[in-house]
Amino acid sequence: MTGPHPPGPVRPDTLTLLGTGDSKGVPRFWCACPVCAEARGAHGQPGVNRRTRTATLLRSGGQSALLDAGPDTHAGLARLSGPLVPDAVFISHAHNDHLLGLGDLLDYVRYADGRLRVYAPPEVVPQIAARFPYAFPAGEAGPVRPIPPRGVPVGGVTVRAFRVPHGANGHSHAYRLDRPAGAGEQGWSAAVVTDAIGIPLELARTWLRGPGGAGLDTLLLGTSFEDESGVPLTGRSVYDVREALALPWARAARQVILTHLSHGVDVRRAAHLPPGWGYARDDLTVPLARPPATPNL
């Protein structure tokens, strides 16, 4: 007789950034600026600045979850090495660049008899129903449920949502991810804040710090432009890189990945970012455990 099989390798908790562009993607189809020109690539290869709309894949303990589902989500999932149906999908707000990919996922549920848990903040659920009425038959429970205040477990991670100011666009929601320490596993804390500007200090103290007030282990932060200081604040909706570099809670994080990037950011020019900071790129996988060294971003 043979003994029990040894346990397989422990896979680290990760975020895979399937889409890292702003609402219009890069390149803009109408634009000939240097960043868009580079993003179009050459000889059939895309440039390093090519970016699709927002979708982030969390993996933990053999489970996975999508954090937002922009219009390019189908393509992002299709680029993975094998088929994957996420165990859960979270929608932060009802803007097209975070929501329209949900149509493909709802089709999987409705027409392929698939099983999928979809969550959104309570106020966002009716907005999703208005966008996809065919998936919410009258008299039936819809496929999207409110995110409970205690959060939703995904593997060993708890996913919670919190409301953040979105400038000229009103408000959005960000995600807080927590993995408690235990059973030989190192705990960590992270946040995914793609669409926000002007976060109050008290809100940051509550949601954008680790246990005991320490900095987050990982912060994914939206910065659509390098410098929008020439644009009236009343017309803006997302931090720029200049502002992000001055945020105390961002500076306190162990690693910061700047995402939601427009054609106003050229990722080839990253020398001005401090150690532990980097620009996102589509399909980048970020380890979430406290890193022994700064990852290669």
CATH number at residue 192: 3.60.15.10
* Token code pair at residue 37: 């020109």
For residue 270, give its domain range: 14-287
What pTM, to 2 d.p., does this model score?
0.93
Mean pLDDT, to the nearest integer, of 88-97? 97
What mean pLDDT is reported for the chain?
Answer: 92
* Token code pair at residue 51: 């970016």
Q: pLDDT-based confidence at 10, cuts 50/70/90?
A: low
Mean pLDDT, to the nearest integer, of 183-187? 72
Mean pLDDT, to the nearest integer, of 116-125? 96
Asked if residue 293 is part of any domain, the answer here is: no
Asked if residue 296 is part of any domain, the answer here is: no
Asked if residue 99 is part of any domain, the answer here is: yes
Asked if residue 4 is part of any domain, the answer here is: no
The predicted structure's pLDDT at residue 267: 98
Structure-token match 């929008």, residue found: 228
Residue 297 pLDDT > 70: no
Q: What is the DSSP string of 77-133?
A: HHTSSS----SEEE-----HHHHTTHHHHHHHHHHS----EEEE-TTTHHHHHHH-G
The pairing of beta strand 218-222 with beta strand 117-120 = unpaired
Residue 2 pLDDT > 70: no
Asked if residue 227 is part of any domain, the answer here is: yes
Which residues lie across from 188 on neighbouring strands? 179
Mean pLDDT, to the nearest integer, of 114-140? 91
Mean pLDDT, to the nearest integer, of 112-118? 82
- What confidence tens digit (pLDDT) does each residue in 255-283 have? 999 999 999 999 999 999 999 999 999 99
- The rounded radius of gyration (Å) of the Cα atoms in the chain is 19
For residue 89, which of 137, 140, 131, 128 has the smallest C-alpha distance? 128
Asked if residue 297 is part of any domain, the answer here is: no
Q: Quick check: helix, strand or coil at residue 6?
A: coil
Asked if residue 292 is part of any domain, the answer here is: no
The number of distinct structural domains making up the chain is 1
Q: Quick check: helix, strand or coil at residue 197?
A: strand
Whole-number percent of the chain with pLDDT over 70: 93
For residue 256, which of 193, 164, 169, 214 has the smallest C-alpha distance? 193
Asked if residue 295 is part of any domain, the answer here is: no
Q: Quick check: helix, strand or coil at residue 15?
A: strand
- What confidence tens digit (pLDDT) does each residue in 32-70 have? 999 999 999 999 999 999 999 999 999 999 999 999 999
